[in-house]
Amino acid sequence: MLEIIKGVFALIILVWLALCVTSLIYPIKPFKKRRHALGAFVVSFVLASIYGGVNGPSELPSEKLADDESTKVEESKSAISSNANLSNDIPDSCGEGGIRLNDVVAVTQKSNLYSAASKSSQRVKNLKLSKALGTNRYHTIDPSVTVKRLCVQKHWTEVQITSPEWLSHVIGWVDNSSLKEIVRNSKGKRLYSESDFFWDNDTTLYKADIVQIINKISSENKNCSEIDTGTVMKSGSRSKPNDPVFFVTCVSNGKPFNVWFKPSDANNSNDFSGVNHIGRASALNACEAYAKSVANYPSTVDFSKILDAVYIQHPSGRAQMISTFTAKNGFNLKLKYRVRCLFEGSRLIEASISEET
């Protein structure tokens, strides 16, 4: 009924507007003058606009109905309700009742790699080594590597070596007992255990301390993205009687560097966050100062700070500055030299000079 009343009201407005327009040309009742018809037309037009804005087509039931129907059509294409928690991260199936996890895990023991999920299958052959030695050699995995789980079955898993990267082409099957998930701390850094390392006579006595220290290095050292678990050993050059020094190799963007430590570091507040690199300008100035300190006539030193200067940063926090300089000898002859300065943090730890011919 309401829709009929609205329609009648709209029709009346349209008829009235038509009458107003006609009276603008030739005044007819109820208008005696054209200006009266013009005023009525303006007022009627405003009312018609207001009515149209309030009852316009933006909320027409037919359009809303069309939207509802479209939604129903989309929902009918799926057998799952739109309220379901949909995800693209559910692992695919593989092999005989297996799933593709594609996560990286650790290795607990030295194990052979097989071409299929059975010890009766062929072992994965190391083609390069076999060719070089003229005899068959096979790939194995041990705690020094990490692997990606490609297909996990009840007793076997197909894996691909991820670290070291130069072995990433190696793929094979291994018994599930040889793998374990990697535990990480709140920072996402790996937490190591004793089974992750190789132990010899020197390191076995300090297992607990070494593991604790390496976990500190893993968590604190900003330059150490990965630790080579097969490199923990005693330093022959830095150790003293009853005062052993050990080291482990870290890897940063494929570049290795060593971190040294003592067993006593497990119980003190020694910081393993790593030193900050000396800046290029500071390295230049320090290397120039060294060149002048060894020149017979320091005032004649002309140090190259642009053309020949090369600044190299190492992941360990060390940095090198290599450049050239000229200096005069006792016969007032100008000679050219090449200088190399090695820094650990801001400290100059080594410098050498060679004469250029």
Rounded to two decimals, what is the model's pTM?
0.60
Spatial distance between the Cα atoms of 178 and 331, rounded to a whole number of angstroms: 73
pLDDT band of residue 42 (cuts 50, 70, 90) is: low
> For residue 108, which amino acid is it?
T
Q: What is the pLDDT of residue 270?
A: 79
> Which residue did the predictor score with more confidence, 252 or 319?
319
Q: What is the pLDDT of residue 58?
A: 47
Render pLDDT for 241-298 as a digit per residue (tens, 0 to 9): 999 999 999 988 878 899 999 999 998 887 888 788 999 999 999 999 999 999 999 9
Contacts of 196 (CB under 8 A, 6+ apart): 106, 143, 229
pLDDT of 32 higher than 70: no
Q: What is the pLDDT of residue 3?
A: 66
Mean pLDDT to the nearest integer, 146-173: 95
Q: Which whole-number Å values give the CA distances from 83 to 78, 79, 86, 91, 241, in the listed order? A: 12, 12, 9, 22, 70
Contacts of 104 (CB under 8 A, 6+ apart): 146, 147, 148, 149, 162, 182
Render pLDDT for 169-191 as a digit per residue (tens, 0 to 9): 999 999 999 999 999 998 889 99
DSSP 8-class letter at 36: H
Render pLDDT for 65-85 as a digit per residue (tens, 0 to 9): 566 666 666 656 677 777 788
Mean pLDDT to the nearest integer, 10-15: 71
pLDDT of 59 higher than 50: no
Q: Is 311 exposed, middle or buried (0-12, 13-18, 19+ CB in 10 A)?
A: middle
> Which residue did the predictor score with more confidence, 202 or 3?
202
Render pLDDT for 71-126 as a digit per residue (tens, 0 to 9): 666 656 677 777 788 778 888 999 888 999 999 999 999 999 999 999 999 999 99
Report CA torsion sign: 279, 280, 284, 290. positive
